[in-house]
Amino acid sequence: MTPPRASAAMDRTYRRMLWPASLAVGIFAIAPLLGMLALSFTDFHLVRGWSGKIGIHNFLRLFEDRRFVSSIYIMMALSAFGVLAQVVLGTAIAVGLDKIVGKWRVARGIFVVPFAVPHVAVALIWLSLFTPTLSPINAVFAVFGIEVPALLTTQTGAITAIVIADTWATYPFVMLIVLAALQGISPDLDEAAALDGATRVKAFFRITLPLLYPTLLMVALFRFIETLKHFPLIFVMTSGGPGRATQATNYYAYVQTFQNSNVAYGASIAVFLFLFAAAISFYIAKANARLSDA
């Protein structure tokens, strides 16, 4: 048992060790957030400046702004389809790689490669693939007389293109988390199911998948928060187009802040996005806690 004096000394040491991390979080996370929150209650404009007006007028304006409301629907479509595609693809690959042993285990590294590619580079890669005059895919299909539609020219196609690019870049994160969870499931459960006459597919859906629910919910939460930051893909691939078809909420905040010079209104959009993500995160975390306790 640790003596009381030694325990107190260790506590003081731990608190001192936490100071650099706490200072970094305060400077680079909390201070900018508070600054943005303060800015959202003003009417600051890059050209006109600040008239001295303070209030909640920017937040009242949000839901009267049709472009803002439309950006929420676009953001939710990108997030919902993106998270679903990433979870399904990542889980399927993880299940396929779970039983790989020996020298073939190196193959797991191949599936992680897209996760190491910066988002701007991902956007450029897929922009070239979805541009008919540049795409090698289109050239191959053209040999057989098949015309591939230009996805980036329609709203549905542009959203699909962004979801595909984001799924390719980030499914390895889901795959790694699910693979780690699968490694923690006892093989005795599969053996018992096999002895009872259950097929591998039936055993997966009846035994393995329910055990993965907390992990899948947690990884879906992480990916949902990340999909709210689609900005690099939208900026490079579509610039919010065609028209305003892919102006998700974070991109609309950029438009208001840097293109329209309306800094305060852009800050209020960012604050709303932060609160929205926090609320969804709280709800999913609560659901995850219920599943873990069950």
CA distance 258 to 238: 17
Mean pLDDT, rounded, for 25-34: 78
Task: Determine the pLDDT at residue 233.
Answer: 92
**Torsion angle (degrees, nearest 10) of CA 93, 95, 99, 103:** 10
Residue type, 275: L
Closest CA to 115 of 59, 176, 60: 176
CB 246 within 8 A of CB 155: yes
For the record, the structure tokens of 131 come out as 């541009």
User: At 235, phi and psi to the nearest 5?
Assistant: -60, -45
Cβ-based burial of 37 (10 A; exposed 0-12, middle 13-18, buried ≥19): middle
Give the residue extent of every domain in the chain.
1-40, 57-293
Cβ-based burial of 218 (10 A; exposed 0-12, middle 13-18, buried ≥19): middle
Task: Flag whether pLDDT at 227 surpasses 80.
Answer: yes
The packing angle between helices 209-227 and 263-293, to 10°, is 170
* DSSP line for 160-188: HHHHHHHHHHHHHHHHHHHHHHHHTS-HH
DSSP at 118: -
Give the max Cα distance, the chain: 81
Task: Determine the pLDDT at residue 231.
Answer: 86
CB 107 within 8 A of CB 97: yes
Task: Flag whether pLDDT at 9 surpasses 70.
Answer: no
Mean pLDDT, rounded, for 256-261: 90
Query: Residues 127-149: pLDDT tens digits?
Result: 988 887 777 777 777 777 777 77
The better pLDDT of the pair 118, 1 is held by 118
3-state SS of the chain: helix, strand, coil percent to 5? 80, 0, 20
Task: Flag whether pLDDT at 294 surpasses 70.
Answer: no
Task: Determine the pLDDT at residue 252.
Answer: 93
Lowest mean pLDDT among 5-19, 46-60, 225-239: 5-19
Task: Flag whether pLDDT at 3 surpasses 60.
Answer: no
Task: Flag whether pLDDT at 16 surpasses 70.
Answer: yes
pTM value is 0.84
CA distance 285 to 217: 8
Mean pLDDT, rounded, for 26-43: 84
CA distance 60 to 74: 21
The better pLDDT of the pair 87, 244 is held by 87
Mean pLDDT, rounded, for 270-280: 87
We find that the CATH architecture of domain 57-293 is Orthogonal Bundle (1.10)
Query: Residues 64-120: pLDDT tens digits?
Result: 999 999 999 999 999 999 999 999 999 998 888 887 755 556 667 788 888 888 888
Mean pLDDT, rounded, for 35-60: 86
Task: Determine the pLDDT at residue 283.
Answer: 80
> Mean pLDDT across the chain, nearest whole number?
83
Give the other-Cβ count within 10 Å of 31's Cβ. Answer: 11
Task: Determine the pLDDT at residue 182.
Answer: 87
CB 162 within 8 A of CB 233: yes
Task: Determine the pLDDT at residue 104.
Answer: 57
